[in-house]
Amino acid sequence: MDKKLVYSEISCALQAYRNCIQSGNEIWEEKWEERIETLVDRLPSGAGITTLNFDMEKSNPNKLIFTFSYAHYTEYGFYDGYTDHKLIVTPDLYYGANLNITGRNKNDVKDYLYEIFNSAMFEEVIE
């Protein structure tokens, strides 16, 4: 049996949510929306990552789009501005998914962002 990974579960829940909208099944539409929120809540927040949102309107089962900001600090702990980013997750036949992070690479933050989001997206969902 294949592992259920976060990115895949979000994709499946998004498709189910859209199917419920199309069929007018409001009860299950709400349940799938809650499922998506629960899965998105598993993604990193804090430690510089702020305002992480899943863009359900622009996303589809083959392209998940998340927006977030990253708060930068100097080596002395003083606030140094923030950068806005998008995390775009698309299918990959070999690895399962590709992650692309847009936005400015201030202080080489993207290496850190790829590391933590890759870990989170490929986490196994156990229920």
Q: Return the H-helix or E-strand segment holding 79.
A: strand 79-92
DSSP state string for 21-74: HHHT-HHHHHHHHHHHHHHHTTS--BTTEEEEEE-TTT-BTTBEEEEEEEEEE-
Give the pLDDT of residue 127. 75
Domain extents for the chain? 6-121
Contact yes or no for 98/90 (Cβ under 8 A): yes
Q: Convert the pLDDT of each residue in 51-110 to its tens digit.
A: 899 999 999 999 999 999 998 887 887 888 899 999 999 999 898 999 999 999 998 899
For the entire predicted model, the pTM comes to: 0.90
Our measurement of the distance from residue 46's CA atom to the centroid of its chain's CA atoms, rounded to an integer in Å, reads 14
Helix axes 6-23, 109-121, angle to 10 degrees: 70
